[in-house]
Structure 1
Amino acid sequence: MDHFTDSDVPELSGRTFMVTGANTGIGFETAKSLAGRGARVLFGCRSEDRANDAMERIRLDVAGADLRFIPLDQGDLSSVTAAAALVDEEERLDVLVNNAGIMMPPRELTTDGFESQFGVNHLGTFALTAQLLSKLGETEGSRVVVTSSLAHRGGNIHFDDIDASQKYGAQDRYQQSKLANLLFMYELDRRLRAEESSTIAVACHPGIADTELARHLPKIVMLAAPLLKVFFNSPAEGAWPTLMAATSDDIEGGDYIGPSKRGETAGPAHKVPSTGRARDPQLAQLLWDLSIEMTGVDPGI
């Protein structure tokens, strides 16, 4: 289906979705739409208070919404492992929506000592997905959704300075993390196909959406933002690619979904291209091996 919006989300009763970063922005709108179609939605969030507030807001609009909080801090691998263990207790898991991420903060380190954007956006996603593959494999036709960005186009993987101890540029490291997301998705889907698994991996990006993710952007950009908002997706519109990737019947493993208008910055969702670098299997293999080394988590496929 082309030009997908939230009105195209099918009935989802009996299915379970985990959405990371579900308490705000695109994650919240994704969770709200899924719950509105009858899905059970697991909220993978750092703050229980913010998750509870978000779930209460959804319940005001969706009577009987089936929601559960899963404590999850993707900047702490022990938290990722604990979250995966809780999800393993669920009766089923149909779709893992890896939505949580950070964008262009000052240089920071995760609990485990990783540069924060690579650590949260990629390594946290890698470790959570790896530990939920068996659970996903129990459900025919399950999916892993990985959220990338238009920023992947300018990304490079700095294997010689992965922790940014030599040089840190907030935008450069964000681009790296979003390229890593796509490299991971493509490699994961290749491996799932080789295993003849019914689970598929797909990716999406929201275009340019008006969310709090942009809070670390330069001041001059923030000052101009109110004038530019007319060109942005709202958070609900920014969720359309995620919803298509997670629920559309017209999806195959390895698909990449983004907005259809103004150079993939806005509008209804459809399938979009990625860069040749993002689809480089040798680069993906190097990143896969590095990710296992850094996280200590092996997907086993």
Structure 2
Amino acid sequence: MVRFNEIKMQEGRVFLITGANSGLGYETSKFLLERGATVIMCSRDLLKGEKAIQSLLKFNFPGKIELVELNLSDLKNVKKFSKYIKNRFQSLDVLINNAGIMAPPKTLSKQGLEIQFAVNHLAHMFLTMELLPMLEEKNNSRVVTVTSGVQYFGKIQWDDLQGNIKYDRWKSYAQSKLANVMFGLELNSKLIERHSKTSSLLAHPGFARTNLQRKSVQANQSWQEELAYKLMAPMFQSAEMGALPQIAAATLSSAKGGEQYGPRFNFRGSPKICRNAPNALNNNSRKRLWAISEKLIKDI
């Protein structure tokens, strides 16, 4: 079990969190600010981001906040954002790839890619590779990629990666969350090969109550899904609890590259090291996904 009294104050350390204005990202920001960190809070909607910051400022935490607009559905925006971060900050200690979307109707990104694959996986891979030189300047720097428990059911649809032949919003979501794990593990292997000071870790929140469920119901106008969430309500834990695995992966001195943190009982509970999805453990599959993803982002 994770002991949070192991986590030291974080003064002088810089954390960048995608999707930081609500849910897991907000709770992670709150935890880090309380411990004196500088937190770069990324939000697609600056008005919502500003509202989140005003809420956090009421606590008078010792940490510092900077809000930056980031639209992960447009890789060119990710490129522009990365350039700004590299010019604005001298170094970066931890990148938390937290933002995500869940099971929308078939939608395409700015580059014409299936939106869940594009936002949950591809944009975070692109952001990571753009900011990696900054991370590698610091000792014990980390990339934490947030996945989901659906990773264990996910499969990569090699013949229909973008859901062009047949789109199933839940299968595409599970594929993107499996891709998160495959990316995180392959990145860690590459970092080890070059004796990098940076490590790559993973985290998943279990059943955490965030905006994802509400947005999915609204986007799909699904009363069945709404009913399912109401019936499952007692199983959900708070966003504050759901954020603990990624906080552990980002800050625990004992955490190591390639590890994944998740709830004790897989869907809820205090965080512990958990297993990575079996479908993410095949080296050849991970390298294949990396090569495909690299090709999709190389011309941005």
1:294 aligns with 2:293: no
Please list the CA deviations of residues 129-177 of structure 1 after superposition, one character each: whole Å capped at 9, or x if unmatched. Answer: 0100000011111000001111011111112112211000010000100
1:53 aligns with 2:55: no
Q: Percent identity?
A: 34
Q: Distance in 2 between matches of 1:78 and 1:288?
A: 19
Return 67-76 or 185-194, whichever deviates more.
Answer: 67-76
Q: Distance in 1 between matches of 2:199 and 2:101?
A: 25
Return 48-57 or 224-233, whichever deviates more.
Answer: 224-233
| Paired residue secondary structure (1:202) | strand
Q: Distance in 2 between matches of 1:251 and 1:3?
A: 10
Quote how far apart the aligned CAs of 1:64 are.
Answer: 4.8
Please list the CA deviations of residues 178-211 of structure 1 after superposition, one character each: whole Å capped at 9, or x if unmatched. Answer: 0100000000000000000010000000000011
Please list the CA deviations of residues 72-110 of structure 1 after superposition, one character each: whole Å capped at 9, or x if unmatched. Answer: 111100111111112212022000000001000000000
1:254 aligns with 2:258: yes
Of 199, 222, 227 in structure 2, the residue corresponding to residue 223 of structure 1 is 227
| Paired residue secondary structure (1:41) | strand
Quote how far apart the aligned CAs of 1:295 are.
Answer: 1.1
Q: Distance in 2 between matches of 1:166 and 1:58?
A: 45
Q: Distance in 1 between matches of 2:83 and 2:52?
A: 23
CA contact (8 A) 1:24 1:54 kept: yes
Matches within 5 A, 1:272-287: 272-287=274-289
Provide the residue aligned with 1:243 in structure 2.
Answer: 247
Q: Distance in 2 between matches of 1:177 and 1:112?
A: 17
Return 270-279 or 20-29, whichever deviates more.
Answer: 270-279
Moved segments of 4+, more than 6 Å: none
Q: Distance in 1 between matches of 2:98 and 2:3?
A: 18
Matched letter for residue 72 of structure 2? Q
Matches within 5 A, 1:143-158: 143-158=142-157
**Alignment TM-score, normalising by the size of structure 1:** 0.94
Return 39-48 or 83-92, whichever deviates more.
Answer: 83-92
CA contact (8 A) 1:70 1:86 kept: no
Quote how far apart the aligned CAs of 1:252 are.
Answer: 0.6
Provide the residue aligned with 1:234 in structure 2.
Answer: 238
Provide the residue aligned with 1:82 in structure 2.
Answer: 80
Matched letter for residue 39 of structure 1? A
Once superposed, what is the RMSD of the aligned Cα atoms? 1.5
Provide the residue aligned with 1:21 in structure 2.
Answer: 19
| Paired residue secondary structure (2:270) | strand
Q: Gaps spanning 5+ residues in structure 2: where?
A: none
Number of aligned residue pairs: 294
**Alignment TM-score, normalising by the size of structure 2:** 0.94
CA contact (8 A) 2:32 2:63 kept: no
Please list the CA deviations of residues 199-237 of structure 1 after superposition, one character each: whole Å capped at 9, or x if unmatched. Answer: 000000000001111131542232243453232110000
Quote how far apart the aligned CAs of 1:69 are.
Answer: 1.3
